[in-house]
Chain A
């Protein structure tokens, strides 16, 4: 461990060095400022023009690079869009073909099932009726007859219902027609009135108006309106 006087010496040296460095920085700055001042004093207008040119160059460069960035970005975005579109198209095509296939399959299966059921049902009914007819039992024959009768009745009922619906629809159409005809009459009469109103003032002269007035009053006299 050095003694205290040595420590003080080191501290003084350190302070000196620090001060020296600080003074150097200040001196350098002062020199730079004086140089700048000298330059400005020489030709300030030229310096301003130079500064402007520099600034212009910087701006141009910045704009160029910005444009580049924008164009690159749009290109990339376009590429991404195209990729997404094509993917979507592919996806929808796949889904659509799958759906088509499954629909077709379902349709075929349903048709086949319905056909099978229908055939089976017909066969069953035919077999039952045949069986019933072949039996000698009168009550069973009666049931067969009843079934036939019931089927006939159902048919008749169906025909009647359809006819009723048709008649109702016919009445509705007739009413609609009548209301439309009334509307047309109304519109036509309004139209005639409008035409008469527009045409008559041009057609009737003052003399004709006076004649019509006198004619009307004469008629009113004959009808004893004034008595």
Chain B
């Protein structure tokens, strides 16, 4: 499967970490349980993740009677999760919720990546973006240093 709803739904790095952790636990439960049922899935995942995961199972035509198929489906999602790009956005002050929404809407359609927000007053203002080990500096600090 190319696109997973549970992955598309992710916005932040912590969302991704949570989904990874939940899927790991679900996999362990499936190993130990005799059969897979919806209740086990729902109880292992948060509501949003459970809904998206069930939708993905439906789209992927996964047979719940087959443990192997179910586990390989989870492994496929976990592999995809590892490939999701993580982007750190560093601000001088804690961003407001409305601002985060604005940022997320601005970043829609930029490819699947999850974001984490950090605060560092040393950048004075603006934003520093960390992605794939690279730093993109749009901060006031860098502007001041350029002027000096």
Asked whether, in the complex, the Cβ of A217 is within 8 Å of the Cβ of B103, the reply is yes
Is chain B's binding surface mostly helix, strand, loop or mixed?
Answer: mixed
Complex formed: what's the CA distance from A213 to B101 in Å? 13
CB neighbours (8 Å) of B145 from chain A are: 189, 193
> A214 to B126, alpha carbons, bound, how many Å?
8
B125 near A225 (CB under 8 angstroms)?
Answer: no
Is B53 an interface residue, CB under 8 A from the partner?
Answer: no
CB distance from A60 to the nearest CB of B (A): 80
Contact of A193 with B144 at beta-carbon distance under 8 Å, contacts A208-B125, A216-B126, A220-B138 already known: yes
A217 contacts which of B106, B122, B124 (Cβ < 8 Å)?
B106
Q: Report the bound CA distance from A181 to B141 in whole Å.
A: 23
**A206-B106 in contact given A216-B127, A227-B111 (Cβ < 8 Å):** no
* Interface pair B136/A223, CB less than 8 Å apart: yes
User: Chain A 189-222 against B: per-residue CB contact (8 Å), 1 yes, 0 no?
Assistant: 1001100110011001010111011111111110
Please, how many residues of chain B have a CB less than 8 angstroms from a CB on the other chain? 31
A214's nearest neighbour on chain B, judged by CB, is: B102
Give Cα A171 to B99, complex, Å: 58
**B38 contacts partner chain A, Cβ-Cβ < 8 Å:** no
Bound-complex Cα distance A204 to B91 (A): 13
Number of A residues, CB within 8 Å of B: 27
Interface residue from B102, B113, B125 paired with A226 (Cβ < 8 Å): B113
With a CB–CB cut-off of 8 A, which chain B residues contact A221?
106-107, 110
Which of these, B111, B141, B148, contacts A189 with CB under 8 Å? B148
Contact (Cβ within 8 A) A209 B91: yes
Please determine whether B121 and A226 come into contact, CB atoms closer than 8 angstroms: no
The reply to whether B136 and A220 form a contact with Cβ atoms under 8 Å apart is yes
Using Cβ atoms and an 8 Å threshold, which residues of chain A touch B95? Answer: 210, 213
The CA-CA distance from A215 to B145 in the complex, in Å, is: 19
> Chain A residue with minimal CB distance to B125?
A212
Shortest Cβ distance from residue A187 to the other chain B in the assembled complex, whole angstroms: 12
Q: Which residues of A contact B103 (CB under 8 A)?
A: 213-214, 217
Task: Determine the main DSSP class of A at the interface with B.
Answer: helix
Tell me the bound Cα distance from A110 to B96 in angstroms: 92
Complex: A219 Cα to B124 Cα, angstroms: 18
B140 contacts A by Cβ under 8 Å? yes
Q: Which chain B residues (96-148) contact chain A, with CB distance < 8 Å?
A: 96, 99, 102-103, 106-107, 110-111, 113, 121-122, 124-127, 129, 131, 136, 138-141, 144-145, 148
Q: Is the CB of B129 within 8 A of A209?
A: no
Mask, A97-116, CB within 8 Å of B = 1, is 00000000000000000000
Closest to B124 in A: A200
By the criterion CB–CB under 8 Å, are A196 and B111 in contact? no
Chain A residues in 8 Å Cβ range of B30: none
Question: Is B92 part of the contact surface with A, judged by Cβ < 8 Å?
Answer: yes
Question: Which residues of A are found within 8 Å of B107, using beta-carbon distances?
Answer: 217, 221, 226
Task: Let me know if B54 is at the binding interface, CB within 8 A.
Answer: no
Residue B42 at the A interface, CB < 8 A? Answer: no
Contact B148–A226 (Cβ < 8 Å): no
> A residues 76-105 with Cβ under 8 Å of B?
none
Q: Which residue of A lies closest to B121 (CB)?
A: A201
Please name the 9 residue pairs, one residue from A and one from B, whose CB atoms are nearest each other, closest first.
A216-B138, A216-B127, A226-B110, A189-B148, A212-B126, A216-B126, A212-B125, A225-B136, A210-B99
Query: CB within 8 Å of A: which residues of B?
Result: 87, 89, 91-93, 95-96, 99, 102-103, 106-107, 110-111, 113, 121-122, 124-127, 129, 131, 136, 138-141, 144-145, 148
